[in-house]
Amino acid sequence: MSQPAFGKMLQQLVDLGVIELQTKPLDDQIERRLKKFWEQAPCPECGDPSIQTWPSSNRVICRSCGFKPVCTYGTPFHEKHLTTGEVLLAFILYADTLLSISKIATLLDRAYKTVYYAIREVEAAVQRGFPVVWNQFQQEIDGPVQIDESSSVCSGYKGQDPPRDSRHRGGSSRSGRSRWRGRHGDQITLVAACRDVLRVVHGQLGISYETDLDPVIQEAEDLSQPLGEVWTDGLQAYRQMEYTHQIVVHDETYVSPDGVHINQVECLFSLIKPWLRKFRGLSKHGLEQAAHTFGIIRSLNLAGASLVSVIDCLAMGAFPSST
Protein backbone atom coordinates (compact mmCIF):
# COMPACT_ATOMS: atom_id res chain seq x y z
CA MET A 1 0.00 0.00 0.00
CA SER A 2 1.41 3.41 -0.94
CA GLN A 3 2.02 5.94 1.82
CA PRO A 4 1.32 9.68 1.79
CA ALA A 5 4.61 11.51 1.35
CA PHE A 6 4.34 13.45 4.59
CA GLY A 7 3.61 10.39 6.73
CA LYS A 8 6.29 8.25 5.07
CA MET A 9 9.03 10.88 5.25
CA LEU A 10 8.21 11.77 8.84
CA GLN A 11 8.49 8.10 9.79
CA GLN A 12 11.86 7.87 8.03
CA LEU A 13 13.14 10.90 9.97
CA VAL A 14 12.10 9.22 13.21
CA ASP A 15 13.74 5.94 12.18
CA LEU A 16 16.98 7.77 11.40
CA GLY A 17 16.95 9.46 14.79
CA VAL A 18 16.66 12.94 13.28
CA ILE A 19 13.39 13.41 15.17
CA GLU A 20 12.90 11.87 18.59
CA LEU A 21 9.42 11.83 20.08
CA GLN A 22 9.70 12.84 23.72
CA THR A 23 6.32 12.65 25.45
CA LYS A 24 7.57 12.98 29.05
CA PRO A 25 6.98 16.77 29.11
CA LEU A 26 3.40 16.12 27.97
CA ASP A 27 2.99 13.45 30.66
CA ASP A 28 4.04 15.97 33.31
CA GLN A 29 1.84 18.76 31.94
CA ILE A 30 -1.20 16.51 31.81
CA GLU A 31 -0.64 15.27 35.36
CA ARG A 32 -0.36 18.82 36.71
CA ARG A 33 -3.53 19.98 34.95
CA LEU A 34 -5.58 16.95 36.01
CA LYS A 35 -4.56 17.41 39.63
CA LYS A 36 -5.87 20.97 39.54
CA PHE A 37 -9.26 19.64 38.43
CA TRP A 38 -9.24 16.95 41.10
CA GLU A 39 -8.69 19.62 43.75
CA GLN A 40 -11.94 21.30 42.64
CA ALA A 41 -13.99 18.15 42.00
CA PRO A 42 -16.12 16.09 44.41
CA CYS A 43 -15.02 12.55 45.19
CA PRO A 44 -16.60 10.10 42.70
CA GLU A 45 -17.18 7.63 45.55
CA CYS A 46 -18.66 9.73 48.37
CA GLY A 47 -19.26 13.11 46.71
CA ASP A 48 -17.25 15.01 49.33
CA PRO A 49 -15.13 17.89 47.89
CA SER A 50 -12.03 17.03 49.90
CA ILE A 51 -9.54 15.68 47.35
CA GLN A 52 -5.84 16.07 48.14
CA THR A 53 -2.98 15.84 45.65
CA TRP A 54 0.83 15.67 45.94
CA PRO A 55 3.47 16.92 43.46
CA SER A 56 5.52 13.73 43.93
CA SER A 57 2.68 11.23 43.34
CA ASN A 58 0.34 10.54 40.46
CA ARG A 59 -2.39 9.53 42.91
CA VAL A 60 -5.01 11.65 44.64
CA ILE A 61 -6.87 10.82 47.85
CA CYS A 62 -10.25 11.70 49.31
CA ARG A 63 -9.73 12.74 52.92
CA SER A 64 -13.31 11.77 53.69
CA CYS A 65 -13.61 8.16 52.43
CA GLY A 66 -10.01 7.31 51.62
CA PHE A 67 -10.64 6.69 47.90
CA LYS A 68 -7.18 6.85 46.28
CA PRO A 69 -7.27 6.70 42.45
CA VAL A 70 -4.60 7.77 39.99
CA CYS A 71 -5.13 11.29 38.65
CA THR A 72 -6.13 9.96 35.22
CA TYR A 73 -9.12 8.08 36.70
CA GLY A 74 -12.32 8.82 34.77
CA THR A 75 -10.50 10.43 31.83
CA PRO A 76 -9.55 9.08 28.37
CA PHE A 77 -5.96 8.78 29.65
CA HIS A 78 -6.86 6.05 32.14
CA GLU A 79 -5.74 2.43 31.67
CA LYS A 80 -4.43 2.79 28.14
CA HIS A 81 -1.54 0.95 26.51
CA LEU A 82 -0.22 4.44 25.79
CA THR A 83 1.30 7.00 28.11
CA THR A 84 -0.80 10.10 28.76
CA GLY A 85 1.54 12.09 26.53
CA GLU A 86 1.17 9.58 23.70
CA VAL A 87 -2.62 9.72 23.98
CA LEU A 88 -2.61 13.50 23.64
CA LEU A 89 0.03 13.45 20.89
CA ALA A 90 -1.99 10.91 18.91
CA PHE A 91 -5.10 13.10 19.11
CA ILE A 92 -3.23 16.27 18.09
CA LEU A 93 -1.64 14.51 15.11
CA TYR A 94 -5.09 13.19 14.15
CA ALA A 95 -6.92 16.50 14.55
CA ASP A 96 -4.29 18.97 13.33
CA THR A 97 -2.30 17.22 10.58
CA LEU A 98 -2.92 15.22 7.43
CA LEU A 99 -1.65 12.04 9.08
CA SER A 100 -4.16 9.20 9.19
CA ILE A 101 -4.65 7.09 12.31
CA SER A 102 -2.71 4.22 10.71
CA LYS A 103 0.27 6.54 10.13
CA ILE A 104 0.05 7.85 13.68
CA ALA A 105 0.08 4.28 14.99
CA THR A 106 3.18 3.54 12.93
CA LEU A 107 4.86 6.71 14.14
CA LEU A 108 4.20 5.81 17.79
CA ASP A 109 5.06 2.14 17.14
CA ARG A 110 1.71 1.07 18.59
CA ALA A 111 -1.11 -1.19 17.42
CA TYR A 112 -3.69 0.51 15.22
CA LYS A 113 -6.66 -0.39 17.45
CA THR A 114 -4.84 0.90 20.54
CA VAL A 115 -4.39 4.31 18.92
CA TYR A 116 -7.80 4.32 17.24
CA TYR A 117 -9.82 3.74 20.42
CA ALA A 118 -7.70 6.19 22.42
CA ILE A 119 -8.30 8.92 19.83
CA ARG A 120 -12.04 8.26 19.75
CA GLU A 121 -12.34 8.59 23.53
CA VAL A 122 -10.31 11.81 23.53
CA GLU A 123 -12.38 13.18 20.65
CA ALA A 124 -15.66 12.58 22.51
CA ALA A 125 -14.29 14.16 25.70
CA VAL A 126 -12.93 17.21 23.87
CA GLN A 127 -16.31 17.80 22.26
CA ARG A 128 -18.01 17.64 25.67
CA GLY A 129 -15.56 19.99 27.36
CA PHE A 130 -14.95 22.50 24.57
CA PRO A 131 -17.96 24.80 25.23
CA VAL A 132 -16.87 25.40 28.84
CA VAL A 133 -13.22 25.98 27.94
CA TRP A 134 -14.16 28.28 25.08
CA ASN A 135 -16.36 30.34 27.36
CA GLN A 136 -13.54 30.73 29.87
CA PHE A 137 -10.66 31.91 27.71
CA GLN A 138 -12.25 33.53 24.67
CA GLN A 139 -13.21 37.17 24.60
CA GLU A 140 -16.57 38.28 23.31
CA ILE A 141 -17.23 37.59 19.67
CA ASP A 142 -19.78 39.55 17.69
CA GLY A 143 -20.48 40.57 14.12
CA PRO A 144 -22.20 38.61 11.34
CA VAL A 145 -22.14 34.81 11.09
CA GLN A 146 -21.33 33.32 7.71
CA ILE A 147 -23.16 30.08 6.86
CA ASP A 148 -22.51 27.71 3.97
CA GLU A 149 -22.92 24.05 3.08
CA SER A 150 -20.91 21.56 1.04
CA SER A 151 -21.67 17.97 0.12
CA SER A 152 -19.34 15.12 0.99
CA VAL A 153 -19.49 11.39 0.34
CA CYS A 154 -19.49 9.04 3.33
CA SER A 155 -19.20 5.27 3.64
CA GLY A 156 -22.85 5.06 4.55
CA TYR A 157 -22.87 1.37 5.39
CA LYS A 158 -19.41 1.08 6.92
CA GLY A 159 -19.52 -0.85 10.18
CA GLN A 160 -23.01 -2.28 9.61
CA ASP A 161 -23.75 -6.00 9.66
CA PRO A 162 -23.86 -7.22 7.02
CA PRO A 163 -21.92 -4.52 5.11
CA ARG A 164 -22.37 -3.99 1.39
CA ASP A 165 -19.85 -5.76 -0.79
CA SER A 166 -17.61 -3.75 -3.09
CA ARG A 167 -19.85 -4.01 -6.15
CA HIS A 168 -22.83 -2.60 -4.22
CA ARG A 169 -20.76 0.25 -2.85
CA GLY A 170 -20.56 1.81 -6.29
CA GLY A 171 -16.94 0.89 -6.95
CA SER A 172 -14.78 -1.92 -8.24
CA SER A 173 -15.50 -5.57 -7.32
CA ARG A 174 -11.98 -5.71 -5.90
CA SER A 175 -11.61 -5.03 -2.19
CA GLY A 176 -10.39 -1.75 -0.76
CA ARG A 177 -12.06 1.50 0.29
CA SER A 178 -9.82 3.52 -2.01
CA ARG A 179 -11.78 2.15 -5.02
CA TRP A 180 -15.14 3.20 -3.63
CA ARG A 181 -16.75 6.21 -5.24
CA GLY A 182 -20.09 6.38 -3.46
CA ARG A 183 -23.60 6.54 -4.88
CA HIS A 184 -26.92 8.24 -4.27
CA GLY A 185 -27.82 7.98 -0.60
CA ASP A 186 -24.21 8.15 0.56
CA GLN A 187 -24.06 11.94 0.37
CA ILE A 188 -23.80 13.92 3.58
CA THR A 189 -24.00 17.70 3.82
CA LEU A 190 -21.39 19.55 5.83
CA VAL A 191 -22.88 22.76 7.24
CA ALA A 192 -20.51 25.32 8.75
CA ALA A 193 -20.81 28.65 10.53
CA CYS A 194 -17.89 31.10 10.89
CA ARG A 195 -17.91 33.98 13.33
CA ASP A 196 -14.57 35.71 13.77
CA VAL A 197 -12.25 32.94 15.06
CA LEU A 198 -15.11 30.57 15.91
CA ARG A 199 -15.73 27.68 13.52
CA VAL A 200 -18.71 25.34 13.91
CA VAL A 201 -19.08 22.37 11.56
CA HIS A 202 -21.88 19.78 11.51
CA GLY A 203 -22.63 16.92 9.14
CA GLN A 204 -26.16 15.85 8.23
CA LEU A 205 -28.04 13.95 5.57
CA GLY A 206 -29.99 16.27 3.28
CA ILE A 207 -30.25 20.01 3.72
CA SER A 208 -33.06 21.73 5.60
CA TYR A 209 -33.33 24.56 8.05
CA GLU A 210 -34.67 22.58 11.01
CA THR A 211 -32.31 19.58 10.91
CA ASP A 212 -29.12 21.12 9.51
CA LEU A 213 -28.92 24.89 9.65
CA ASP A 214 -30.61 25.68 12.94
CA PRO A 215 -28.28 23.49 15.10
CA VAL A 216 -25.20 25.10 13.58
CA ILE A 217 -26.54 28.62 14.05
CA GLN A 218 -27.64 27.79 17.60
CA GLU A 219 -24.20 26.43 18.52
CA ALA A 220 -22.50 29.50 17.07
CA GLU A 221 -24.80 31.67 19.15
CA ASP A 222 -24.27 29.61 22.32
CA LEU A 223 -20.47 29.80 21.94
CA SER A 224 -20.36 33.55 21.27
CA GLN A 225 -22.76 36.43 21.68
CA PRO A 226 -26.41 36.67 20.54
CA LEU A 227 -26.45 36.77 16.77
CA GLY A 228 -27.12 40.08 15.14
CA GLU A 229 -26.91 39.16 11.47
CA VAL A 230 -26.42 36.05 9.35
CA TRP A 231 -24.82 36.03 5.88
CA THR A 232 -25.52 33.23 3.39
CA ASP A 233 -25.70 32.50 -0.29
CA GLY A 234 -29.07 32.17 -2.01
CA LEU A 235 -29.92 28.58 -1.01
CA GLN A 236 -33.68 28.10 -0.63
CA ALA A 237 -33.33 26.43 2.80
CA TYR A 238 -31.84 29.63 4.27
CA ARG A 239 -34.98 31.65 3.62
CA GLN A 240 -36.75 30.26 6.70
CA MET A 241 -34.30 31.97 9.06
CA GLU A 242 -35.70 34.05 11.87
CA TYR A 243 -32.46 36.03 12.20
CA THR A 244 -31.58 39.23 10.40
CA HIS A 245 -30.45 37.73 7.12
CA GLN A 246 -28.27 39.12 4.32
CA ILE A 247 -27.72 37.21 1.06
CA VAL A 248 -25.00 37.28 -1.56
CA VAL A 249 -26.12 35.86 -4.92
CA HIS A 250 -23.13 34.02 -6.36
CA ASP A 251 -24.56 34.02 -9.87
CA GLU A 252 -23.99 37.78 -9.76
CA THR A 253 -21.00 38.36 -7.46
CA TYR A 254 -19.00 36.88 -4.58
CA VAL A 255 -19.22 40.07 -2.52
CA SER A 256 -22.43 42.08 -2.58
CA PRO A 257 -22.40 45.89 -2.95
CA ASP A 258 -23.14 46.00 0.80
CA GLY A 259 -20.06 43.91 1.59
CA VAL A 260 -21.93 40.67 2.30
CA HIS A 261 -19.86 37.52 1.60
CA ILE A 262 -19.24 34.00 2.87
CA ASN A 263 -15.52 33.83 2.06
CA GLN A 264 -14.49 32.70 5.55
CA VAL A 265 -16.69 29.64 5.57
CA GLU A 266 -15.78 28.73 1.98
CA CYS A 267 -12.12 28.95 3.00
CA LEU A 268 -12.91 26.58 5.88
CA PHE A 269 -14.29 24.01 3.45
CA SER A 270 -11.13 24.27 1.34
CA LEU A 271 -9.20 23.23 4.46
CA ILE A 272 -11.50 20.55 5.85
CA LYS A 273 -11.97 18.57 2.64
CA PRO A 274 -8.27 17.63 2.19
CA TRP A 275 -8.20 16.79 5.91
CA LEU A 276 -11.20 14.46 5.57
CA ARG A 277 -9.71 12.70 2.53
CA LYS A 278 -6.94 11.20 4.66
CA PHE A 279 -9.50 8.84 6.23
CA ARG A 280 -10.29 7.24 2.83
CA GLY A 281 -13.94 6.92 3.75
CA LEU A 282 -15.91 7.58 6.92
CA SER A 283 -19.29 6.36 8.08
CA LYS A 284 -22.02 8.97 8.51
CA HIS A 285 -21.45 9.12 12.26
CA GLY A 286 -17.67 9.17 11.83
CA LEU A 287 -17.86 11.99 9.30
CA GLU A 288 -20.12 14.07 11.55
CA GLN A 289 -17.81 13.59 14.52
CA ALA A 290 -14.63 14.27 12.57
CA ALA A 291 -16.05 17.45 11.02
CA HIS A 292 -17.10 18.74 14.43
CA THR A 293 -13.62 17.99 15.84
CA PHE A 294 -11.97 19.86 12.98
CA GLY A 295 -14.06 22.94 13.77
CA ILE A 296 -13.08 22.79 17.46
CA ILE A 297 -9.34 22.50 16.79
CA ARG A 298 -9.53 25.17 14.07
CA SER A 299 -11.23 27.54 16.53
CA LEU A 300 -8.60 26.89 19.22
CA ASN A 301 -5.79 27.47 16.72
CA LEU A 302 -7.26 30.72 15.42
CA ALA A 303 -7.82 31.94 18.98
CA GLY A 304 -4.15 31.30 19.80
CA ALA A 305 -4.93 28.60 22.37
CA SER A 306 -2.19 26.30 23.67
CA LEU A 307 -2.12 22.55 24.23
CA VAL A 308 -3.24 23.27 27.78
CA SER A 309 -6.65 24.23 26.39
CA VAL A 310 -6.99 20.80 24.80
CA ILE A 311 -6.09 19.16 28.12
CA ASP A 312 -8.66 21.38 29.82
CA CYS A 313 -11.32 20.29 27.29
CA LEU A 314 -10.56 16.69 28.25
CA ALA A 315 -10.69 17.49 31.96
CA MET A 316 -13.95 19.45 31.59
CA GLY A 317 -15.44 16.45 29.82
CA ALA A 318 -14.36 14.18 32.67
CA PHE A 319 -15.02 16.54 35.62
CA PRO A 320 -18.09 18.57 34.59
CA SER A 321 -19.00 19.22 38.22
CA SER A 322 -15.68 21.03 38.78
CA THR A 323 -16.68 23.79 36.38
**What HEC string does 205-228 produce?**
CCCCHHHHHHHHHHHHHHCCCCCC
Same domain, 198 and 313: no
Same domain, 163 and 297: yes
Phi, psi of 124 (to 5 degrees): -65, -40
Q: Which of 32-36, 47-51, 296-300 shows the lowest mean pLDDT across its residues?
A: 47-51
- 188 against 85, higher pLDDT: 85
Q: Provide mean pLDDT across the span 8-35.
A: 84
Distance of CA 104 to the CA centre of its chain: 16
Phi-psi region for residue 171, left (φ > 0), alpha (ψ -120 to 50) or beta?
A: beta
Same domain, 52 and 197: no
93-138 confidence digits (pLDDT tens): 999 998 889 889 988 989 999 999 999 999 999 999 999 999 887 6
The whole-angstrom separation of Cα 113 and Cα 105 is: 9
Per-residue confidence (pLDDT) for residue 22, from 0 to 100 = 86
Selection from 41, 119, 103, 161 nearest residue 286 by Cα: 119
Same domain, 291 and 314: no
pLDDT higher than 60, residue 48 = yes
Per-residue confidence (pLDDT) for residue 240, from 0 to 100 = 75
Neighbours of 146 (CB within 10 A): 25
Neighbours of 300 (CB within 10 A): 25
Structural domain containing residue 104: 5-138+308-322
- Do residues 148 and 266 make contact, with C-beta atoms less than 8 angstroms apart? yes
Same domain, 15 and 113: yes
When pLDDT is cut at 50, 70 and 90, the band that residue 83 belongs to is very high
Q: Which of 127-131, 215-219, 228-232, 250-254 shows the lowest mean pLDDT across its residues?
A: 250-254
Look up the CATH number of the domain holding residue 221. Answer: 3.30.420
pLDDT higher than 60, residue 181 = no
